[in-house]
Structure 1
Amino acid sequence: MGHHLSTGDAHFWQAAELGGLELLAARFVEHRFAPHVHEGYVIAVVEAGAERYRYRGVEHLAAAGSLALINPGEVHTGSKGHDEGWRYRVFYPEAQQIQAILTELELPAADLPAFVGSVHRDADLVATFSGLHRLLESGASALQQQTAWREALLALLQRHAQLAQPTTVGREPQSVARARELVRAQLAEPPSLEELAAAVNLSPFHFARVFRRATGLPPHAWLKQQRLEQARALLKAGCSAVSVAVQLGFADQSHLTRQFKQAYGVGPGEYRAACARSFRTLLPSGVVGIAAEKSQ
């Protein structure tokens, strides 16, 4: 069974039976998600109220009874689209979790599928994913969870995704790829715009424009995203929020907490605790001591 955790009206956990698939059930009223990205996919079922978000340069409104889909690495925001806010259930499958299912189905898995469009008022799929999320929360048998997840995902991919065309790879300018590597290598003390531009032989202004066109974010905002993604990975591995803040160059722990919550809806402490609980259930019983020590 996955392990549960509540923080106000946000409840984040991982489905141990589905390889640690991350799940969120939340009701938000005044919470505003800062522009952020996820390395994996986002599949959200809005159950009440409405959420407004910006994605691929367009404002979307996902009202109760709709499915909101977001592709990996795509910048998006999130805020209420209704006075009462919104209540939703979210799945965050990683790319490899989707690839594994394509391989099982003997579908081409070399290219990741891309969701087409974002908000879909698709009554039976909404019911399927809403029911699936509750099933994963109830701790049904592994057999039932794993079967239901595959069936739901297959239906979704058949209806709202296309297998990515190989042409999308390598479209990013070399200068941007190189700059991303430089930033990733120095997250704690990132280079300045001038230094980055000089490293790829472009003027700072031109570089900033090329970078934004390729990634959807100006360099400083992309850096912030990378820091948060890295913070997630370190918290998942059992690092404390304090050490994560220091390692990644956040001003202090409260700065990390604020940014993390703005991007993911739960704080770093809660996220780490949920991952640690799931980690313990995923381990053979003899190894529990290690996980328990890590979470001290």
Structure 2
Amino acid sequence: MSDASEQREREAAKLTRHEGLGGLEMLAARYRDHAYALHTHPTWVFGVVVAGVEKLRIGRRQHLAPAGSIIIVNPEEPHDGEKGAPAGWAYRTCYPDAALMAEIAEDLELRGLPMFSEGIVQAPELARAFVRAHRLAGKLDQEAAMLVVLSKLAKRFGDGKVRDRASEAGETARRFRLYGELIAADLSAGFDLAHLAAVARVTRFQVIRDFHRAAGMTPGQYLRDHRIRAASALMKTEMPLAEIAVATGFADQSHLTRVFKTIKGLSPGAWRAAA
């Protein structure tokens, strides 16, 4: 077997979208050597490991997720992922947005959008139901099955409360919002700690602490993550990848490609094709 064939055999990723579920993204992937960099999503993440073991950080906690484990990540919660065993891992995930989770919460009569305190849970019957729903070919059947399993996960493991990040962190949250607004205003700009510190009128050390407390990330990880999120949005347009790279602060298209795959698990071209 050639090196290229062996790589295809051990690593593969396919992203699809279900329009009946608000464009719900669903990823089926198998990785041996790929490692996700620390990143966030504006959506929830639900997934089931179907083979092997994944090693991952969710928030500030480290986990090993063997086959059968259900992975749950809240919006904006930093997480990564890599193999937890020599053969790697395979999993199926989906990324429901706030509108879909609000629909589920309303049906369950929850007080707010469900948030989850446990990143890895064991519920064999729900794991099997999730995988079955993920694999269904019929759009209507898949829509119904996925709604049912996500509802059951929210009912069983969600706390039913809206997480108020601003009230939790006080001045840290206020400064963190300021950093975020500054970065979002021009992702192509070069940022350093001294500039962020000067705007917030704090020390560089305080900037580092603010990012750690508010996001669980370094300033550099946060900037890279938001550049990738902006690039992902632009990839749904006709803008060439080289122009997207420059617009979102990457040195060139190859730089964007390298970083994009560490966070999304697919190349920009494969991700754009799925989009």
Q: TM-score, normalised by structure 2?
A: 0.90
2:58 maps to 55
Distance 1:89 1:248, change over 3 A: same
Partner-residue secondary structure (3-state), 2:167: coil
Find the counterpart in structure 2 of residue 179 from structure 1: 179
Distance 2:139 2:228 in 1: 34
- 1:18 and 1:145 in contact (8 A); partners too: no
3-state DSSP class of the match of 2:261?
helix
Aligned to 1:16: 19
After superposition, the C-alpha distances for 1:178-223 in whole angstroms (9 at most, x for unaligned) are 1111011121013321111111110112222122211111212111
Q: Does 1:164 align with 2:161?
A: yes
Structure 2 unaligned spans of 5+: 1-7
Q: Distance in 2 between matches of 1:107 and 1:213?
A: 28
The SS at the match of 1:189 is coil
Q: Cα gap change, 1:189/1:46 in structure 2, threshold over 3 Å: closer, same or farther?
A: same
| Equivalent position amino acid for 1:164 in 2 | K
Q: Are the aligned partners of 1:17 and 1:145 in contact in 2 as well (CA < 8 Å)?
A: no
User: In 1, distance between residues paired with 2:76 and 2:39?
Assistant: 9
Report the counterpart of residue 150 of structure 1 in structure 2.
Answer: 147
Cα distance, 1:53 vs structure 2: 0.5
Q: What is the aligned-residue identity percentage? A: 38
Question: C-alpha distance in 2, partners of 1:171/1:182?
Answer: 22
The one-letter code sitting in structure 1 at the alignment partner of 2:128 is A
Of 55-64 and 6-15, the range deviating more from structure 2: 6-15
Residue number in structure 2 paired with 1:280 = none
Equivalent AA in structure 2 for residue 211 of structure 1: F
TM-score between the two structures when normalised by the length of structure 1: 0.84
In 2, Cα distance between equivalents of 1:15 and 1:239 = 24
Matching of residue 32 in structure 1 with residue 35 in structure 2: yes
Q: Distance in 1 between matches of 2:247 and 2:22?
A: 28
1:279 maps to what in 2? none
Distance 1:62 1:166 in 2: 25
Corresponding residue for residue 231 of structure 1: 231
Could you say if the C-alpha distance between residues 182 and 262 of structure 1 is closer, same or farther in structure 2, counting changes exceeding 3 Å?
same
Q: Is 1:129 matched up with 2:130? A: yes
For 2:254 and 2:23, how far apart are their aligned partners in 1? Answer: 27
2:245 and 2:91 mapped to 1: Cα distance?
29
The answer to whether 1:85 aligns with 2:88 is yes
The secondary structure found in structure 2 opposite 1:53 is strand
- C-alpha distance in structure 1 between counterparts of 2:133 and 2:253, whole Å: 36
Query: Residues 112 and 163 of structure 1 are in contact (CA less than 8 Å); yes or no, is this contact kept in structure 2?
Result: yes
Alignment of 1:74 onto 2:77: yes
Contact 1:11–1:24 (CA under 8 A) maintained in structure 2:
yes
Displacement of 1:240 = 2.8
- CA RMSD of superposed structures (Å): 1.8
- Does residue 45 of the first structure (1) align with residue 43 of the second (2)? no
Classify the secondary structure of the residue corresponding to 2:202: coil
Task: Name the aligned partner's letter for residue 190 of structure 1.
Answer: G
What code does the residue aligned with 1:244 have? I
The one-letter amino acid paired with 1:119 is I
Residue matched to 2:3:
none
| Corresponding position of 1:286 | none
Corresponding residue for 1:267?
A: 267
More deviation, 6-15/156-165? 6-15
Amino acid of the structure 1 residue aligned with 2:225: Q
Asked whether the 8 Å contact 1:70–1:115 carries over to 2, the reply is yes
Q: Secondary structure at the match of 1:51?
A: strand
> 1:145 is paired with a residue of what secondary structure?
helix
Unaligned runs of 5+ in 1: 1-5, 276-296
CA shift, 1:17, in A, is: 2.5
Give, in whole Å, the separation in 2 of the partners of 1:241 and 1:103.
40
Q: Please state how far the C-alpha of 1:230 moved relative to its aligned partner.
A: 0.7
How many residues get paired? 264
